[in-house]
Structure 1
Amino acid sequence: FLHSETHLRGNSALIHLICIGFSLFIGLLSRPGSSLFSWHPFLMTLAFSFLMTEAILVFSPHGSPLKRFPHKVKGGVHWILQCLSVSCAVLGLAAISYNKFLNGKAHFTSWHGLLGLLTVCVVVLQSLAAVPLIYQTLAKGWSLAKLKRYHAASGLVSYLLGSVSLLLGLRSAWFTASVREHTWYLSALCPALSALVIMNQVTRAYVAKKRLQS
Structure 2
Amino acid sequence: MLLIATQRDSEVFDLPLISQSAEHNQETPPMGYERRYEMVEGRQGDTLAETTALFAVGTLAILTWVIVLSNDPRALGWFALHPLLQTLAISLFTYGILTLQPTSQPKTKAAGLYRHQVAILLFGLPSILLGTLAVSYNKWLGGARHFSTWHGTLGIVCIIWLVAQVGFGAGSVWYDGAVFGGGIRAKAVWKYHRLSGYILFPLLLLTAHLGGAWSNWGAKYGSGSARFLAYTLAPILVLSGVYMRIR
TM-score after normalising by structure 1 = 0.83
Check 1:184–1:33 CA distance in 2 against 1; reply closer, same or farther (3 A cut).
closer
Secondary structure class of the residue paired with 1:70: helix
What residue in structure 2 maps to residue 121 of structure 1? 160
- Alpha-carbon deviations, 1:26-61, whole Å to 9, x = none? 11211296331110011111112x000000000223
Identity of aligned residues (%): 24
- Corresponding position: 1:56 with 2:102: no
Check 1:159–1:185 CA distance in 2 against 1; reply closer, same or farther (3 A cut).
same
Deviation at 1:91, TM superposition (A): 0.7
Q: Which runs of 5+ in 2 are unaligned?
A: 1-41
For residue 134 of structure 1, the aligned residue among 174, 180, 202 is: 174
Secondary structure class of the residue paired with 1:38: helix
Q: Which amino acid aligns with 2:53?
A: I
For residue 75 of structure 1, the aligned residue among 113, 126, 131 is: 113
Q: Which amino acid aligns with 1:46?
A: L
TM-score after normalising by structure 2 = 0.72
What residue in structure 2 maps to residue 29 of structure 1? 67
- Alpha-carbon deviations, 1:66-108, whole Å to 9, x = none? x996321211110111112111111111000000111111110
Secondary structure class of the residue paired with 1:60: coil
* Structure with the larger RCO, 1 or 2 (CA within 8 Å, 6+ apart): 2
What residue in structure 2 maps to residue 13 of structure 1? 51
Alpha-carbon distance in 2 for matches of 1:190, 1:85? 19
Check 1:27–1:75 CA distance in 2 against 1; reply closer, same or farther (3 A cut).
same
- Alpha-carbon deviations, 1:141-168, whole Å to 9, x = none? 7534322211110111221111110011
What residue in structure 2 maps to residue 105 of structure 1? 144
Does structure 1 retain, via aligned residues, the 8 Å contact 2:81–2:131?
yes
Secondary structure class of the residue paired with 1:36: helix
Check 1:51–1:182 CA distance in 2 against 1; reply closer, same or farther (3 A cut).
same
More deviation, 143-152/67-76: 67-76
Matches within 5 A, 1:187-206: 187=230, 188-202=232-246, 205=247
What residue in structure 2 maps to residue 181 of structure 1? 224
Q: Which amino acid aligns with 2:174?
A: I
Alpha-carbon distance in 1 for matches of 2:223, 2:146? 27
Alpha-carbon distance in 2 for matches of 1:69, 1:18? 29
Q: Which amino acid aligns with 1:71?
A: K
Does structure 1 retain, via aligned residues, the 8 Å contact 2:52–2:237?
no
Alpha-carbon distance in 1 for matches of 2:60, 2:239? 14
- Corresponding position: 1:152 with 2:194: yes
Secondary structure class of the residue paired with 2:245: helix
Alpha-carbon distance in 2 for matches of 1:183, 1:24? 11
